[in-house]
Chain A
Amino acid sequence: MGDIGLISQVVVNGILFGSMYGIAAIGLSLIFGTMRIVFIAQGSVIVLTSYFCFWLFSLLGIDPYLSLIPVLLVSLLLGAAFYYGLFREAAALKDRIGSLLIAVGLMFFLENFMTVVWTPNPRAVVTSYGFTTFQILGVQLTLTRLIGLLIAVLAAVAVSMFLKKTLIGTAVRATSEDVEASTLMGINPDWVNIVTFAIGIGLAGIAGVTLATTYSFDPVYGFEFALKALIALTLGGIGRVYAALWGGIILGLIELLGTFFVGAGWAQGIVFMIFLLAMTFRPYGIFGGAGDKV
């Protein structure tokens, strides 16, 4: 009896953790879809925004969920800045290798910057109410993790609505599919790219707040997180918001269940093996069809 309870606990945690990967993956999906850029610095940016949240909390006493607003705003601006400063030419030239290397360079810079400026010590945002738990059907749910899941789902819904219901969102989807044809509609790809990048980094900001409030983080965690986000994206398939979210959740489940049954080290190995298998045999994602772009 207790075993089932324990496993359900792990499952729930897996879903909560996975939703963070999912949000990061949605950002990656958008950026890759429109600009063919694999933004491997996504994880490091998430850690950066976690630090924003942390410092706002530690130095100014701002509640992390309130700090979501400024962090989100800064992230949106940061995204536009990244595009304009770093990726604009590479996106125009469809230079995939170049943009990958720029992203790697950014990741290295951010990681080392944060290590130097904020020390390698792990941080976390611990609020007084954070540890309140609820008992639902015999499973313990911490408040922070619950809110984290809620935020993730809301963010996914918001992005999905943006893409489906707004004209710019539709333009983003069109550009993802065929840039040239979209210019023939009068769509300015530069503008679409800025919006997309901003949203992508905005999502990173949201993930950052969630990360800060639910787990601990340190400057070098970004690489690992980015890899997981990529794996989530591979599992879910590019181009669909909810698929990316589900990809993250599945990954979270695999990771946490794996850790529970075979230990953390082997679980990581399993995760990467699944990644390799997925990429080799189903590069369009578990939900994707053969017609999807790769």
Chain B
Amino acid sequence: MANQLLEVKGLDVSYGDVQALWDVSIQVEEGTIVALVGANGAGKTTLLKAISGLIHAKKGEIVLSGESLNNLKPQEIVDRGITHVPEGRRLFASLTIMENLRLGAYIPRTRPLFTESLERVFTLFPVLKNRSNQKAGTLSGGEQQMLAIGRALMAHPKLIMLDEPSLGLSPILVKTIFQLISILNEQKATILLVEQNVNQALKIAHQAYVLKNGKTVMCGKGCDLLADEEVCKAYIGERGSKR
């Protein structure tokens, strides 16, 4: 059995008086891709935000490699090894590609590895190398997504969390992104993936959780869920898994 990298136990999260997550528990094994799927507003983004420290959980535990992440600030959690690529990418539009990547390696422990990490990112995304002095705001959607992921890689993370990486991208780019995620996983990256594109997500995921109204309602291997009738009906459509 591979190591358990991240464990979330019994998490309750509220936005003010409105509760968004009820007793949510997930596990992420090292070296795997774990997908979180569910309808809009199911709480997927909230869960990622709780893990990365942008929101504080009222109840429950978040444990990374045996260490508790509860009540840590986002900066500290990045230092522990989790990077979060938020929904909408949240790049620094007025900064150049290079500057965005530099900031990705802001944490002191990542700075000595900067050149190495940069090489890796440029190998994965040659288009970023060519335009490294261009402002991030001028990039196309697909390029921005690549920069966002590249930026996350600069922090040499143990776990990468991607929130809706395929959002707003053309079908070809979507395919590229998912291929990329698989490649990263082959390179030993552990990935927690939130996706609306349930089909693709479940195809590449080793493990998946279905969230509904802030609760985990299903979990299992990616391919099992893909074949599951209920999941198909609810999220993919009557025709079942498409090619």
Binding site for B on A (CB under 8 A): 167, 170-171, 173-174, 177-178, 180-188, 239, 291
Contact = CB atoms under 8 A, between A and B. Distances in A.
Nearest to A240: B94
B205 to A, nearest CB: 23
Could you say which of B91, B92, B155 has the most chain A C-beta atoms within 10 Å of its C-beta?
Answer: B92
B107 interface: yes
Interface of B: 52-54, 73-75, 78-79, 83-84, 86, 90-95, 99, 102-104, 106-107, 137, 151, 155
Contacts of A182: 92, 103
B102 A187 contact: no
B70 to A, nearest CB: 17
A183 B75 contact: yes
B86 to A, nearest CB: 7
B52 A184 contact: yes
B86 A184 contact: yes
A170 B151 CA distance: 15
B73 A184 contact: no
B155 A186 contact: yes
Contact of B103 (A174, A188, A239): A174
A181 B93 CA distance: 11
A239 B95 CA distance: 12
Given A173-B95, A186-B107, 6 more contacts: A178-B92, A183-B78, A184-B54, A185-B78, A186-B78, A186-B155
A178 B74 CA distance: 14
Nearest to B82: A184
Nearest to B100: A174
B92 A187 contact: no
B108 to A, nearest CB: 9
B64 to A, nearest CB: 15
A192 to B, nearest CB: 10
Given A183-B54, A186-B79, A174 B90 contact: no
Contact of A174 (B53, B95, B137, B155): B95
Contacts of A239: 94
A182 B95 CA distance: 12
B106 A185 contact: yes
A180 B86 CA distance: 10
A184 B51 CA distance: 11
B92 A173 contact: yes
Nearest to A174: B92
A171 B102 CA distance: 10
A167 B102 contact: yes
Nearest to B53: A183
B90 A181 contact: yes
B106 A181 contact: no
B75 A181 contact: no
19 contacts: A167-B106, A170-B102, A171-B106, A173-B95, A174-B92, A177-B94, A177-B95, A178-B92, A180-B54, A183-B73, A183-B74, A184-B83, A184-B90, A185-B104, A185-B107, A186-B75, A186-B107, A188-B75, A291-B137
Contacts of B94: 173, 177, 239
B99 A184 contact: no
Contacts of B91: 181
Contacts of B79: 186
B155 A181 contact: no
A185 B102 CA distance: 10
Contacts of B53: 183
B93 A177 contact: yes
A203 to B, nearest CB: 21
B74 A184 contact: yes
Contact of A181 (B86, B102, B107, B137): B86
A69 B92 CA distance: 35
A170 B103 contact: yes
Give the 10 A-B residue pairs with the shortest CB-CB distance, closest first: A186-B78, A183-B74, A181-B90, A186-B107, A185-B103, A174-B92, A188-B75, A186-B106, A185-B106, A186-B75
A207 to B, nearest CB: 26
B99 A180 contact: no
A181 B103 CA distance: 11
B159 to A, nearest CB: 13
Nearest to A191: B75
Contacts of B99: 170, 173
